Amino acid sequence: MRIGINGSGLIATGAPVGQITEHAAQAEADGFSSYWLAQLAVPDALTAIATMGEATSSIEIGTAVVPTWFRHPLMLAAQAVTVQQIIGPRLALGIGLAHKLSVEATLRIPFATPAKHMDEYLSVLLPAMTDGSVDVTGDIWSGFTEGAPPAEGPPTVLLAAMGPRMLQLAGSRCAGTILWLSGPKVIAERIKPAVDAAAAEAGRPTPRIVASVPVCVTDDADGVKEMVGAFLAGYNDLPSYRGVMDAEGAGGPADVSVIGDEATVRAGIAAFAEAGATDFAPVEIGLAERDQVATRDLLKELAAG
């Protein structure tokens, strides 16, 4: 299992792009395989990733994730291919539906037929990035453009997926799935079997499963868990996340996080590998600087193998 870093906490706390770029460069220097950013409000994740091209040279850089409702697939394809030209062939484009609550509150449009939405979105996005040309007319998403395949090749596409239809699309049409707050039990029993079966039926390679949860090596596990529970409390009210946490037997986000002393965290991360995750991209957290240092030191050791 490859070990990366999820830098989305910096975006959530309002860090400037320059600081995020430095964080990514340090992740590469520390030997991590990948670096991930969520698309929240500001900054734009893909634009921020483009700034990392000169600061990094080899680390995979990805979005975790770009909500599809906010961008036409032709626009997202153009932006992703442009970023790939800037940073080289190492962009992982993670996309997802987002949630009914956020989409309807922000865009004032109905969160309707999400599975059909994503199916049609991929029908425009994927050929636009792979072939440079697409001619699709759908009920929700349509697109026409003529061009040439990108010289750097298309970005890797990963789909945020927790339900059966999204998992089927992740395995059959994408390179795999990227997860947030899905624990080892859910990965082993629900996610891996579904994406593997979909990929096999479509004749595609075994898909990637990128797992991401908060991680902290600390001697104050209760305090850190309380912080995580408060900061991520909103996920308890989102049906898709509530569903995977219930399936994991978790009361909330703190219960799927990997928090504790070094032995506890080491065992918790190993459980994701045993469950079938191909990549692990933790959000590093902590109440004290010593927690953050201890967490990074353990993750560096695991990344080095």
Q: What CA–CA distances, in Å, run from 60 to 35, 49, 56?
A: 6, 10, 9
Q: How far is CA 157 from the centre of its chain?
A: 10
Structure token digits, residue 208: 């990637």
Question: Model's pTM, two decimal places?
Answer: 0.97
Kindly report, residue by residue over 29-61, the tens digit of the pLDDT. Answer: 999 999 999 999 889 999 999 999 999 999 999
Alpha helix positions (H), 5-44: 8-12, 17-29
Walk me through the domains of the chain, giving residue ranges and CATH numbers.
Answer: 2-216+263-304 (3.20.20.30)
Contact 160, 97 (CB under 8 A): yes
SS3 162: coil
What DSSP character marks residue 204?
A: P
pLDDT band at 158 (very low <50, low <70, confident <90, very high): very high
Contact 287, 224 (CB under 8 A): yes
d(CA 174, CA 36): 18
pLDDT at 232: 97
In this prediction, residues 161-185 reach a mean pLDDT of 98
What DSSP character marks residue 190?
A: I
Kindly report, residue by residue over 91-150, the tens digit of the pLDDT. Answer: 999 999 998 888 888 989 888 999 999 999 999 999 999 999 999 999 999 999 999 999
Contact 101, 238 (CB under 8 A): yes
Kindly report, residue by residue over 185-240, the tens digit of the pLDDT. Answer: 999 999 999 999 999 999 999 999 999 999 999 999 999 999 999 999 999 999 99
Residue 233 identity (one-letter amino acid): A
